[in-house]
Amino acid sequence: MSTPAAIDWLNLGFKYMQTNAYVRANFTNGKWSGVEVCTDPMFNIHIAAACLHYGQACFEGLKAFRRKDGSVAIFRPEENAARIIDTANRVLMEPPPVELFIEAVKKTAALNFDWIPPYGTGASFYIRPLLIGTSAQIGLGPSRDYILIVMGMPVGPYYKDGFFPVRACVQEAYDRAAPKGVGNVKVAGNYAASMLGDKESKDRGYSISLYLDSAQRKFIDEFGTSNFFGITYDKRFVTPDSDSILPSITNKSIQTIAADMGLKVERRPVSFDELTQFKEVGACGTAAIITPVYSIIRGDKEFTFGKENEVGETLRHLFNEIQGIQYGEIKDRYGWMLAVE
């Protein structure tokens, strides 16, 4: 295990790193235990555990930020609590109570306070709650027992160049979600479903894949790691409404900011043909923050937005606002930040 003193905060990337401790709570005999502090990242699990065979596994992702005065705050954890409850209910897992989830998330940040990147580095502390069904069973059915684990580690940008335009490609060969499937919740299997497509896109030189609606291939769904949004020439913020995309907390937040900036916010089905109307396109999510998208390729057609290697003014404004609130540089006017200590 490395120590915080040895970390190059400016060149972190998005990688697992072992920190001081993580926390865990167990659901057994119909009730949740309290939050337990653990340090050994290895633990025993039954070979017939439901999460291993039948995919009863889901997770969340949220971030804690160091502010100028050295204090730390977490971005909208109650939204992640609500989403893990929705996810758990969809796949018949035991949802953790909101209070337990928030306590576990806060404790993970507090236990690793020295691992939370210094203010001014642009890095943050990524918190990863994980829920798994652990009962030994071979017949198909929901687990009786569950473990909630919350770990965390310092991270830099998800895409290596940070706040810099990327090129995306439409994923034609595989779908990640189906109508009325599980694309709108954060089950682990969704990410396995997108790995092959993402790898093929990367091999072709595109850092990010765009998924279309799997029924008709007519509407934009989302990127493999983040939601899609576009800014039109007449200053509308347009983002897809679809049953098979993850309701992104970052997207919801930048919609609020965009409306405050005077943009008209439209959340509705977005046809692929509308791409030509966008002056700027972005991918948004906890890990991706706001990643500007310079181009989207589909077959032999490339759609471009703004200037290559240049971030558009609306995306820059949205990025500065959300990060300003997260790092405590701008007043938390919506009450989004939960102080850790």
Binding site for ligand PLP (CB under 6 A): 61, 222, 225-227, 246, 248-251, 285-286
* Nearest approach, Cβ of residue 208 and ligand PLP (Å): 11
Q: Strand pairing of 278-285 and 227-232?
A: antiparallel
Amino acid letter, residue 309: N
Q: Which of 180, 149, 171 is nearest to 51 (CA)?
A: 149
Distance from C-alpha of 143 to C-alpha of 131, rounded to nearest angstrom: 12
Apex CA 125: angle with CA 119 and CA 129, to 5°?
160
Q: Measured at CB, which residue is nearest to ligand PLP? A: 285
Give the residue closest to ligand COI by C-beta: 61
Smallest distance, ligand PLP to C-beta of residue 275, A: 19
Give the one residue of 286, 291, 314, 326 binding ligand COI; rule: CB under 6 A: 286
What residues between 32 and 61 interact with ligand COI by CB under 6 A? 61
Q: Which stretch binds ligand COI (CB under 6 A): 66-74, 230-238, 281-289, 318-326?
A: 281-289
How far is 142 from 267, CA to CA, in rounded Å? 35
**Smallest distance from ligand COI to CB 56, Å:** 18
> To 10 degrees, what angle do helices 77-90 and 98-111 make?
130
CA distance 211 to 195: 12
Q: Among residues 250 and 306, whose Cβ is nearest to ligand COI?
A: 250
Adjacent-strand bridge partners of 289: 285
Please choose which of ligand COI, ligand PLP, none residue 242 contacts, taking the beta carbon within 5 to 8 angstroms, the exact cut-off set by kind: none
| Min dist. Cβ of residue 248 to ligand COI (A) | 8
- Element at 223 (helix H, strand E): strand 220-223
Query: Residue 201 or residue 226: which is nearer to ligand PLP going by CB?
Result: 226
Question: Residues in the site for ligand COI, rule: CB under 6 A?
Answer: 61, 225, 285-287
